[in-house]
Amino acid sequence: MFVINKARYLLSVLLTELPDYLYKLKQPTNDWLYITNRKQKHIPAPLGSGVCFLSDYTSQLRAPNLVPALSNRLFKKAIENFEFGLSSNRLRCEKPKVSFIIGHKGEDKIAHLLLVIQSIAAQSFDLIECIVVEQSKYVQAREQLPEWVDYYHLETQESDLYNRSLSFNYGAQRAKGEYLILHDNDLLIPVCYTRSHVKLFEAGFDVANLKRFIFGLSEKDTENTFSTNEINAHCTPDYVLQNAKGGGSLAIAKSAYEAIGGFDERFCGWGGEDNEFWQRAQVLKIYPFADLPLIHLWHAPQQDKRKGQRGGGQYTEALLDELSQIPIYNRIKSLTTAKP
């Protein structure tokens, strides 16, 4: 019965979704941005390009998982339409408008961090700074960072779990920019990424989430990117992610970040902190339409992901469930009054 059901699933996906892929990928317009899984409800942006999903759940595109050639063609389309660059040169900006904040932990991801910084250095917008907040027992990344990057070290024990919320809050307090981009250390961005967000902030929005697709590179393609220092348009990503709300990379006005209390530092480890933050961000003016591709660099599975605990041994998922039952404005008041 399992084999029969799986065969029906495969046949259903291919018959209902494959024609849509083939049609939209052939178009000279931006129709490829509107590729989704069947029955997923979404609406297009009223002006310009972009998609807003009517669900809070992140998902993978199904058809590329079954037909890898679709993943390759979609990735190539993204690279053709959005320039990705890597640069080792960037001058320090004394009066930045945008502050990238990156939390970091682990020697095994320093290569990822450095490539992400090159991606930020290639941005077409000049008024930016980059802040790296490393959590470790000893300083590990500082000597390898470019001079234009600001580095802060939070001393932790080797057995301590990474606290993503703490890194973002610490970096936000020290950011000089009017706008913040809270960014993971394994995501490459197109050169228009910063400028696209600034336009929305200047139009009056508090939060912008422009991640349309996140292409997950394979281990081999990630290693090739490290060795060649180039992004190969012919890669076949392992997966294509969509609707990644507050996770990975999110842009928010610094005043808005402070107004909702920043991240909740009770989340320790991975998982839940971005969902809870996104819930509170709903009181702000959000631009919900996404149209930009990002690239996720492969890394070994993080053993502590979703295993973080808070006081009393409660897992992050349980903490998220508990907080989700509390009215948003009550949570905001609790976090803003707790901070100095």
Considering the chain, what is the average pLDDT of its residues?
Answer: 91
Would you state the pLDDT for residue 87? 96
Please check whether residue 90 is in contact with residue 57, taking contact to mean a CB–CB distance below 8 angstroms.
no
- Rounded distance, CA 252 to CA 175, Å? 12
Greatest CA separation found in the chain? 65
- Rounded distance, CA 305 to CA 7, Å? 32
Burial of 141 (0-12, 13-18, 19+ CB in 10 A): buried
98-338: CATH topology is: Spore Coat Polysaccharide Biosynthesis Protein SpsA; Chain A (3.90.550)
- Rounded distance, CA 162 to CA 224, Å? 28
Mean pLDDT over residues 56-74, rounded? 92
Supply the pTM of this predicted model. 0.93
Per residue in 272-328, pLDDT (tens digit) is 899 999 999 999 999 999 999 999 999 988 655 545 544 444 578 889 999 999 999
Would you state the pLDDT for residue 298? 97
Confidence at 49, pLDDT banded by 50, 70, 90: confident
Would you state the pLDDT for residue 269? 75
> 């610490």: which residue's tokens?
170
Would you state the pLDDT for residue 246? 83
Would you state the pLDDT for residue 277? 96
Whether the per-residue pLDDT at 213 is higher than 90: the answer is: yes
- Rounded distance, CA 207 to CA 205, Å? 6
Would you state the pLDDT for residue 245? 83
Mean pLDDT over residues 219-247, rounded? 94
Per residue in 98-135, pLDDT (tens digit) is 999 999 998 889 999 999 999 999 999 999 999 999 99
Q: ∠ CA 79-83-86 to the nearest 5 degrees?
A: 110
In three-state secondary structure terms, 324 is: helix
- Rounded distance, CA 70 to CA 64, Å? 5
Alpha-carbon distances of 340 from 151, 181, 331, rounded to whole Å: 23, 23, 16
Give residue limits of the domains in the chain: 98-338
